[in-house]
């Protein structure tokens, strides 16, 4: 999967700053434990940390493409992720006369840019981010995949741009400050309302999903190369079901290709089970060993589980049904609730910003165990967003909220803010502004009204605000373990198609994700096909909850706590005392673990709050 770092400067001789870029790349060592490299020229230095997945022996980066006549370097790239259709592109480019020295998708990327220029990115299907320096044109291209699976940050400087896969790489340059303003605090105190391109820190930006940024002597200029486009859906239901199966099957078949051990994350829900079934089938057809699968649960959950807003049933029985049906090689990872608080700082360092408490840690611990056996894992992430799996989809058809649906029920967002912060930050007003901005972006379908119009809005909000939050979490928790997690449901070709399928068809059989269930029902046991959605397991054992309450009480009493300059002590004490902070839902995630991370973040990163 890898890590990218680099520095373009029109006034410095960057050959003398290669050590700085090497230091930037070193902060990303967990993303790329298998190798490191730096390439420098008078105006730019590119750094790279490699996780070797394809052509392990020959994929070292940064990688250059050379002229066939005099062997001079034409372009060089630092690349993260995977171009899943690279074998198809390689055959096309070979027919055009390109020759390849390696079996990597990185070399295909370079040849594609030589053949098609900046439009090459429109030919890629995958999860990727890259920094490509065109030597003759003295132009840097920063690109990110259509759905934003892989991250890429940049900070414009007076004479150039500094960039990297994570904020920590930019901070290591010594040129970028850890500062947060009121808009950044909105992202800290809320969930899944971050605007595309925002990076929490006020001194940097993210390359937006589906965008490529041109950096030259005139500055940095964004260009969109992909977005969902609205059009009437003309396929009948059987054709639609077959098309979804075809597109998903193609994505999975492309993504089981790896030169290192590969497996799948399995929860027993329809999303991961569908990916597991298609992946197992693809490996079997290729004559390979059975697919390895992994699930997560909390120790003691059998006795302590109780259904709530997002957890209909325990995963374990459904996982076993899939394993028995498909014959996968399965491992269950048991997480001790006590570890959830102990590893909170680990997940903070992975994110560089406060996360979502035990939801982060449990995923991190799962990935840590999986990485002991695999380098690549398939995931069902993205199905709920494309097909409408979350409960708020149905709610919006009955009573539209005119808000981000996943957080519309929050009554007083400002209650947790300190008295000195409230004059500078009204969370309700700022989220309403962001919501209106998001609605203004929706690609409308002429003549669409009522429920159909509202559901198009909801799906757009989901794909551009909620899904990026989930993908960011998955990327940071997996890459902190050097694990590549692939997400077939985020293949933009599938998302393109499903985007225009009417809500009633997506909900075939009057069940959430009914279209997806119909597309894969022949592959799985009936009880799995019809299992209602149940969210990722959360830790709510009494020992964990008590430890969080105790830690927050200590933070409130600490006169040196930087977080308490931003948080309201009375509100936090009430949550500690009456346990209302844990409501079993995702809207929002429990605030107390997040408050502890806020305190650690302000201390560890020496964040300067600018209001």
Q: Which residues are catalytic?
A: 2
Contacts of 408 (CB under 8 A, 6+ apart): 392, 401, 587
Judge contact between 554 and 547, C-beta under 8 A. no
> Which of 446, 440, 448, 447 lies closest to 464, judged by CA?
440
Q: How far apart are the first and last CA of the chain?
A: 37
Judge contact between 487 and 265, C-beta under 8 A. no
Q: How many CB atoms lie within 10 A of CB 429?
A: 11
Q: Cα separations (Å) of 609 from 202, 328, 334, 355, 596?
A: 10, 50, 39, 18, 17
Buried b (16+ CB within 10 A) or exposed e, 81-119: bbbbbbeebbeebeeeebeeeebbbbbbbbbbbbbeebe
The secondary structure of residue 412, as a DSSP letter, is: -
Q: How many CB atoms lie within 10 A of CB 159?
A: 12
* Structure tokens that stand for 589 in this block: 């995630």
Element spanning 162, H or E: strand 160-164
Judge contact between 350 and 477, C-beta under 8 A. yes
- Give the relative orientation of helices 591-604 and 569-578 as an angle to the nearest 10 degrees: 140
> Which of 402, 384, 540 lies closest to 469, judged by CA?
384
> Which of 467, 527, 529, 471 lies closest to 498, judged by CA?
467
Number of continuous H segments (helices) and E segments (strands) in the chain: 24, 19
Judge contact between 248 and 255, C-beta under 8 A. no
Question: What phi and psi values does residue 588 have, to the nearest 5 degrees?
Answer: -95, 175
Q: Give the C-alpha separation, 349 to 559, whole Å.
A: 24
Judge contact between 127 and 486, C-beta under 8 A. yes
> Is the alpha carbon torsion for 89, 93, 95, 99 positive or negative?
negative
- Between β-strands 126-134 and 139-144, what pairing exists: parallel, antiparallel or unpaired? antiparallel
3-state helix, strand, coil in the chain (%, to 5): 45, 20, 35
Q: Is 393 exposed, middle or buried (0-12, 13-18, 19+ CB in 10 A)?
A: buried
CA-derived radius of gyration, the chain: 24
Q: Give the C-alpha separation, 45 to 47, whole Å.
A: 7
Q: Give the C-alpha separation, 546 to 340, whole Å.
A: 12
* Structure tokens that stand for 345 in this block: 């700082």
């Amino acid at each position: 999967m890898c890590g990218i770092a680099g520095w373009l400067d029109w006034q410095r001789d960057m050959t003398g700053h290669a050590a700085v870029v090497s230091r930037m790349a070193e902060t990303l060592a967990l993303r790329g434990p298998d190798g490191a490299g730096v390439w420098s020229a008078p105006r730019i230095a590119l750094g790279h940390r490699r996780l070797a997945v394809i052509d392990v022996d020959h994929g070292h980066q940064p990688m250059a493409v050379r002229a066939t006549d005099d062997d001079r370097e034409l372009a060089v790239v630092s690349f993260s992720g995977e171009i899943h259709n690279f074998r198809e592109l390689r055959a096309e480019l070979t027919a055009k006369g390109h020759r390849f020295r390696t079996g990597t998708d990185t070399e295909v990327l370079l040849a594609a840019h030589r053949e098609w220029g900046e439009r090459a990115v429109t030919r890629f299907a995958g999860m990727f981010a890259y920094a490509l320096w065109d030597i003759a044109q003295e132009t840097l291209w920063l690109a990110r995949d259509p759905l934003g699976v892989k991250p890429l940050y940049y900070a414009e400087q007076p004479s150039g741009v500094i960039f990297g896969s994570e904020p920590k790489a930019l901070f290591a340059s010594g040129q970028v400050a850890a500062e947060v303003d009121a808009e950044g605090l909105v992202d800290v105190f809320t969930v899944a309302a971050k605007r595309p391109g925002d990076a929490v820190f006020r001194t940097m930006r993210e390359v937006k999903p589906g965008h490529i940024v041109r950096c030259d002597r005139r500055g940095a200029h964004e260009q969109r190369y992909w977005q969902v486009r609205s059009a009437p859906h003309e396929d009948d239901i059987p054709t639609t079901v077959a098309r979804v199966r075809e597109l998903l099957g193609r994505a999975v078949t492309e993504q089981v290709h790896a030169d290192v051990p590969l497996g799948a994350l399995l929860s027993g829900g329809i999303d991961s089970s569908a990916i597991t079934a298609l992946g197992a089938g693809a490996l079997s057809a290729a004559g390979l060993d059975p697919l390895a699968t992994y699930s997560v649960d909390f120790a003691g959950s059998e006795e302590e589980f109780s259904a709530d807003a997002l957890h209909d049933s325990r995963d374990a029985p459904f996982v076993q049904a899939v394993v028995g049906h498909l014959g996968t090689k399965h491992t269950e990872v048991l997480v001790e609730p006590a570890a959830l608080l102990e590893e909170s700082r680990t997940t903070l360092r992975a994110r560089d910003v406060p996360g979502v408490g035990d939801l982060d840690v449990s995923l991190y611990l799962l990935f840590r165990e999986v990485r002991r056996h695999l380098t690549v894992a398939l995931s069902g992430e993205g199905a709920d967003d494309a097909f409408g799996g979350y409960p708020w989809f149905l709610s919006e058809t009955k009573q539209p909220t005119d808000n981000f649906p996943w957080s519309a029920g929050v009554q007083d967002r400002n209650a947790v803010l300190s008295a000195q912060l409230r004059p500078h930050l009204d969370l309700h007003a700022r989220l309403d502004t962001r919501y209106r901005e998001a609605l203004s972006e929706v690609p409308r379908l002429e003549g669409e009204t009522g429920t159909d119009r509202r559901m198009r809005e909801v799906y757009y909000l989901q794909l551009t605000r909620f899904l990026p939050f989930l993908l960011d979490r998955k990327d940071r928790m997996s890459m902190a373990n050097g694990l590549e997690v692939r997400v077939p449901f985020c293949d933009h070709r599938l998302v393109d198609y499903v985007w225009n399928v009417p809500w009633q068809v997506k909900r075939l059989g009057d069940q959430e994700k009914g279209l997806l269930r119909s597309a894969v029902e022949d592959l799985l046991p009936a009880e799995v096909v019809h299992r209602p959605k149940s969210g990722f397991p959360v830790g709510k054992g009494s020992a964990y909850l008590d430890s969080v309450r105790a830690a927050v009480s200590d933070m409130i009493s600490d006169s040196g706590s930087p977080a308490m300059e931003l948080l309201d002590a009375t509100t936090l004490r009430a949550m500690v005392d009456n346990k209302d902070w844990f409501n079993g839902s995702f809207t929002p995630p429990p605030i107390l673990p997040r408050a502890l991370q806020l305190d650690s973040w302000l201390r560890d990163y020496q964040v300067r709050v600018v209001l």
